């Protein structure tokens, strides 16, 4: 009975924590879907988002969630700049070259954050009453649920729903999806693909700000923490289907639930292995992932 | 066609042979020479190379180690130098990578031509680093590569100035088992990274506590690259263990503490192999000093008030250079400083930078004085003279609590009070 209860607890924890990873991965999948580039720097941008939340909290005592009203627009502008300065000049072999360019961006961000005069290499963590005080959780049905996980899951759902409407219910969304399906054809029918790409990259980076805030509430991080993150984010978008927002959310939840349950039932050492074994099986059946590109674009 | 192929192949072989000969010549001319015997009148600085982690998992410790090495070098340089020559540190970053650390020592030895090598941070990085140093005949004196697996590879050149890692939690086990039977916790939960620094400590403590009658309620090993610690913490909580022994670094212990607070789980004793020893960084990571109350951490023989050779001077120099309070000083600083102290005494004893002689000296059974206490190496390079202590956070200070004879030891706080 206690074992079943623990497993149920991990299913709930996995679903809630999945929201955090969905936030972090959604920008990655959106950027790939529209621009056909793999933003290896997304992990570093997430960490940068965490640092921005930290700055606002430490220096101006701004609540973590309210701070997103500042950090997300700021990161959006940064995304526009990165796209203009580093991505747009790539005219050939965009997918391959983008890996190198965005990795360089990750190194620049890591190096800048790690300077003695900025943050150095200290681990930092985000705090709030709903994160780590003794009142940071509530009980329901015998399960103790942390407020922060609930808040982040709600934020994640709201942002992804908003993004869904932007992509599928607005004029900009039509242009965006046209660019996703065929950049050349979209240009021929009058879509300003470069503008769409820039805005998409900006949105993807802005989502990293929210993801960074959420990540920073669960784990202490430093400028080098993006290395562990990016591999997990890539796995999420591959499982969910590269380019699919719905896929990012579902894959995040699937990954976290499988890993968390395996961890408590068996051992944490096998948690990732079991997930990857399942990933291989799913990809054998559905090489395009759960909500692969074709299906994702028909939504 | 075939003839052309063989002609190209022959050219390739000739080219390879030529490159090999050139490399051989370079090495014979000193490319792989381990240190030097001082020549009269040589006033050039002594170069000491080390690879440290300024990013990745060990970045906090890497920074503290750099401070320790630098403080020692500053002290030596302001007191006449080593063998009458100034000491110059050549420190490069390895990003906590086992590949990069090997590349770094190759570069330090072959390109930078350092005279001596000091170790990196962690058992994980010391293992590959010491192999490179051994290949070129260099002694590697280090302060944070104390995992048992470092000393079972038959290397003669590795010397750890700190307490052997596996013994770090012995003092904690002794303390728990020394409690009156009515107070002694009956169960313990163990969770450790699959890291050669943390796991041997936890396994030794588990063995001792089980022998003493403390039942294991949960034992978990998790990958070092884990980013979601909730399920591991949840399993500890579900076990209801009275004592939690965590084989962690700062990120994982702070995540465990957050989860314990959220789930209202408060063990009678909580100890982590690393993290609580990182002063203000630990306090910031867990959200303030009240949350740190009664949390324990093992100590390899150093604390700011310790009455050991050079300690007061080192603490004073640290505060002058980096500010803060004495309690902010990481024990990593002392480990690194001790490396320098041992190197200084051994080199002075032999009057030479010849690494072959230095290795013999360090194996000679001589005892060296450091800020961590006495150092004496056994045949594998482990320090047999080191003494383990147990520390606990009390009212915002990290204080010695066991053994009771330690300088400044205070009464242990047990059981741990509830989370704030």
What pLDDT score does A2 carry?
Answer: 66
Looking at residue B34, what is its pLDDT? Answer: 53
pLDDT over threshold 50, residue B26: no
Cα angle vertex B106, ends B102, B109, to 5°? 135
Tokens read off for B214: 């403390």
pLDDT computed for residue A295 by the predictor: 44
Mean pLDDT of A60-76: 95
Cα angle A12-A144-A148, degrees, rounded to a multiple of 5? 75
| Residues of chain B numbered 267-306 and touching chain A (CB < 8 Å) | 281, 284-287, 291
Please tell me the distance from the alpha carbon of residue A115 to that of residue A128, in angstroms, as a whole number. Answer: 27
Average pLDDT over chain A, rounded to whole? Answer: 88
Statement: residue B2 has pLDDT above 60: no
CA B337 to chain CA centroid, Å, is 12
C-alpha distance from residue B165 to each of A203, B7, B88, B143, B161 (Å): 48, 58, 29, 10, 11
pLDDT of residue A1: 63
- The band of B209, judged by pLDDT with boundaries at 50, 70 and 90, is very high
Q: What is the pLDDT of residue B23?
A: 43
Structure tokens at B245: 């022994």
A157 touches chain B (CB under 8 A): no
Under an 8 A CB cutoff, do B59 and A224 touch?
A: yes
CA A105 to chain centre: 17
Pair of tokens at residue A154 = 């709600």
Higher pLDDT, A100 or B227: A100
Chain B residues with CB-CB distance to A228 below 8 A: 225, 227
pLDDT for position A296: 44
Average pLDDT along chain B: 89
A146: contact with B, CB 8 A cutoff:
yes
The residue of B198, B227, B262, B417 whose CB has the most chain A CBs within 10 angstroms, and thus the best one to mutate to test that interface, is B262
Higher pLDDT pick, B34 / B325: B325
Does residue A238 register a pLDDT over 70? yes
Say whether pLDDT at A298 is over 70: no
Residue B398 in this model has a pLDDT that exceeds 80: yes
What average pLDDT score do residues B270-299 get? Answer: 91
Lowest mean pLDDT among A177-181, A218-222, B130-134, B415-419: A177-181
A103: confidence class by pLDDT, cuts 50, 70, 90: very high
CA distance A264 to B233: 10
Q: How far apart are CA B49 and CA B120, in angstroms?
A: 10
Calculate how close chain A gets to B164, using CA atoms only, in Å: 26
Give B342 or B164, the one with higher predicted confidence: B342
Query: Can you give the pLDDT at residue B227?
Result: 82
**Range 239-268 of A in CB contact (< 8 A) with B:** 256, 259-261, 263-264, 267-268
What is the distance in angstroms between the Cα of B95 and the nearest Cα belonging to chain A? Answer: 8
With 90 as the cut, is the pLDDT of residue B17 above it?
no
Hey, is the C-beta of B261 within 8 angstroms of any chain A C-beta? yes
CB contact under 8 A, A120 and B63: yes
The highest-confidence range among A113-122, A161-170, B121-130, B396-405, by mean pLDDT, is B121-130
Question: Residue B32 has what pLDDT?
Answer: 42
Average pLDDT over residues B142-156: 91
The pLDDT value given to residue A293:
60
Express each pLDDT in B237-252 by its tens digit. Answer: 999 999 999 999 888 9
More reliable by pLDDT, A6 or A92: A6
Confidence of residue B406 (pLDDT cuts 50, 70, 90): confident
Annotated domain spans of chain A: 2-118+165-298
Highest mean pLDDT among A150-164, A225-239, B267-281, B343-357: B343-357
Rounded to the nearest angstrom, the gap between the alpha carbon of residue B188 and the centroid of all alpha carbons in its chain is 26
**Overall fold of domain B46-162+306-375:** Rossmann fold (3.40.50)
Q: What percent of chain B has pLDDT over 70?
A: 90
| pLDDT above 50: residue B33 | no
Torsion angle, CA of A86/A92/A96/A100, rounded to 10 degrees? -30
Task: Tell me what ipTM this predicted complex has.
Answer: 0.82
Query: What is residue B39's predicted lDDT score, i.e. its pLDDT?
Result: 54
Average pLDDT of span A31-45: 88
pLDDT at position B255 over 90: yes
Check A220 against B60: CB less than 8 A apart: no
Chain centroid to Cα A66, Å, comes to: 19
The pLDDT value given to residue B29: 42
How confident is the model at residue B134, as a pLDDT? 96
| Amino acid B333: pLDDT | 95
CB contact under 8 A, A228 and B250: no
B224: contact with A, CB 8 A cutoff: no
Residue A166, pLDDT score: 87
Residue A268 to residue A262: CA distance in whole angstroms: 7
CB-nearest to A123 from B60, B95, B258 is B60
Lowest mean pLDDT among A57-71, A114-128, A241-255, B230-244: A114-128
C-alpha pair distances (Å), A249 with each of A150, A159, A160, A277, B222: 15, 11, 8, 20, 25
Q: Classify the C-alpha dihedral B276-B281-B286-B288 as positive or negative.
A: positive
Where does the pLDDT of residue B14 fall: very low under 50, low under 70, confident under 90, or very high at 90 and above? Answer: low
Q: Which residues, in sequence order, are bridge partners of residue B244?
A: B189, B270
Mean pLDDT for the stretch of residues B323-337: 89
What pLDDT was estimated at residue B41? 62
The predicted model gives B176-200 an average pLDDT of 93
Which pair of tokens denotes residue B314? Answer: 């080192």
Least confident of A71-80, A254-263, B342-351, B400-409: B400-409
* Nearest CA among B297, B307, B385, B303 for reference residue B342: B385
Mean pLDDT, range B56-76, rounded to an integer: 92
Fold for the domain defined by B167-300+389-402: Rossmann fold (3.40.50)
Mutate to test the interface with A, among B99, B121, B258 (most CBs of A within 10 A): B258
pLDDT tier for residue B306 given thresholds of 50, 70 and 90: confident
| Per-residue pLDDT, B197 | 82
Residue A213 to residue A75: CA distance in whole angstroms = 12
Angle between helices A64-82 and A147-169 (to 10 degrees): 40
Q: Work out the percent of chain B whose per-residue pLDDT is above 90.
A: 70
B88 pLDDT above the threshold of 60: yes
Assess A114–B contact: CB distance below 8 Å, yes or no.
yes
Q: At what angle do helices A171-181 and A147-169 cross, to 10 degrees?
A: 80
Domain ranges of chain B: 1-31, 46-162+306-375, 167-300+389-402
Between CA A225 and CA A110 the distance in angstroms is 9
How far does the CA of residue A162 sit from the closest CA of chain B (Å)? 27
Q: Which tens digits make up the pLDDT trace of A104-123?
A: 999 999 989 988 677 777 88
Question: Which range among A123-132, B36-45, B245-254 shows the weakest confidence by mean pLDDT?
Answer: B36-45
């Amino acid at each position: 009975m206690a074992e079943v209860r623990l497993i149920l607890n991990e299913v709930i924890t996995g679903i809630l924590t999945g929201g955090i990873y969905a936030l972090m991965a959604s920008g990655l999948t959106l950027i790939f879907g529209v621009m056909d580039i793999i933003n290896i720097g997304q992990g570093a941008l997430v960490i940068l988002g965490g640092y921005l939340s930290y700055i606002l909290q430490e220096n101006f005592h701004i609540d973590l969630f309210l701070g997103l009203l500042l950090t997300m627009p700021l990161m959006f502008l940064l995304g526009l700049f990165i796209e203009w300065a580093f991505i747009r000049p790539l005219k050939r072999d965009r997918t391959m070259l983008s890996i190198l360019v965005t990795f360089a961006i990750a190194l620049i961000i890591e190096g800048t954050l790690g300077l003695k005069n900025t943050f150095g290499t200290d681990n930092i963590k985000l705090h709030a009453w709903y994160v780590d005080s003794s009142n940071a959780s509530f009980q329901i049905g015998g399960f103790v649920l942390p407020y922060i996980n609930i808040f982040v899951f709600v934020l994640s759902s709201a942002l992804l729903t908003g993004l869904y409407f932007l992509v599928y219910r607005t004029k900009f969304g039509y242009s965006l999806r046209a660019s996703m399906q065929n950049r050349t054809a979209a240009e021929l029918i009058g879509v300003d693909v470069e503008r769409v790409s820039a805005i998409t990259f900006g949105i993807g980076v802005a989502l990293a700000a929210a993801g960074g805030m959420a990540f920073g509430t669960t784990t202490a991080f430093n400028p080098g923490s993006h290395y562990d993150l990016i591999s997990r984010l890539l796995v999420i978008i591959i499982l969910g289907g590269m380019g699919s927002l719905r896929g990012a959310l579902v894959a995040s939840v699937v990954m976290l639930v499988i890993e968390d349950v395996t961890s408590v039932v068996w051992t944490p050492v096998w948690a990732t292995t079991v997930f990857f074994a399942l990933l291989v099986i799913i990809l054998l059946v559905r090489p395009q992932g759960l909500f692969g590109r074709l299906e994702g674009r028909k939504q | 066609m075939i003839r052309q192929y063989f002609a190209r192949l022959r050219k390739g072989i000739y080219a390879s042979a030529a490159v090999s000969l050139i490399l051989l010549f370079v090495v014979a001319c000193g490319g792989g020479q381990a240190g030097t015997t001082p020549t009269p009148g040589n006033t050039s600085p002594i170069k000491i190379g080390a690879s440290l982690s300024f990013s990745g998992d060990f970045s906090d410790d890497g920074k503290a180690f750099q401070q320790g090495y630098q403080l020692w070098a500053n002290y030596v340089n302001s007191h006449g130098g080593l063998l009458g020559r100034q000491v110059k540190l050549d420190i490069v970053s390895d990003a906590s990578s086992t590949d990069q650390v090997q590349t770094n020592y190759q570069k330090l030895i072959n390109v930078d031509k350092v005279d001596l090598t000091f170790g990196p941070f962690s058992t994980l990085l010391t293992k590959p680093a010491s192999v490179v140093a051994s290949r070129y005949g260099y002694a590697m004196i280090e302060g944070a590569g104390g995992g048992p697996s470092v000393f079972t590879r038959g290397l003669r050149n590795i010397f750890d100035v700190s307490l052997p890692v596996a013994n770090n939690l012995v003092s904690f086990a002794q303390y728990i088992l020394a409690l009156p039977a009515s107070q002694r916790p009956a169960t313990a939960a163990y969770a450790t990274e699959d890291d050669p620094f943390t796991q041997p400590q936890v396994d030794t403590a588990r063995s001792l506590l089980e022998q003493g009658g403390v039942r294991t309620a949960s034992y978990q090993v998790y990958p070092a690259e884990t980013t979601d610690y909730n399920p591991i913490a949840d399993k500890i909580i579900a076990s209801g263990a009275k004592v939690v022994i965590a084989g962690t670094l700062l990120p994982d212990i702070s995540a465990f503490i957050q989860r314990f607070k959220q789930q209202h789980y408060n063990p009678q004793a909580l100890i982590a192999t690393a993290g609580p020893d990182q002063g203000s960084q630990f306090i910031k990571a867990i959200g303030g000093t009240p949350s740190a109350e009664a949390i324990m951490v093992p100590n390899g023989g150093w604390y700011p008030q310790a009455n050991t050779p050079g300690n007061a001077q080192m603490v004073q120099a640290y505060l002058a250079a980096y500010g803060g309070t004495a309690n902010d000083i990481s024990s990593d600083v002392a480990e690194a400083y001790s490396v320098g102290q041992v190197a200084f005494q051994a080199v002075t004893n032999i009057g030479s930078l010849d690494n072959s002689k230095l290795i013999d000296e360090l194996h000679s059974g001589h005892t060296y004085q450091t800020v961590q206490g006495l150092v004496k190496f056994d045949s594998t390079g482990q320090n047999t003279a080191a003494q383990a202590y147990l520390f606990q956070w009390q009212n915002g200070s990290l204080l010695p609590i066991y053994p009771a004879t330690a300088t400044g030891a205070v009464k242990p706080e047990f059981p741990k009070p509830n989370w704030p």
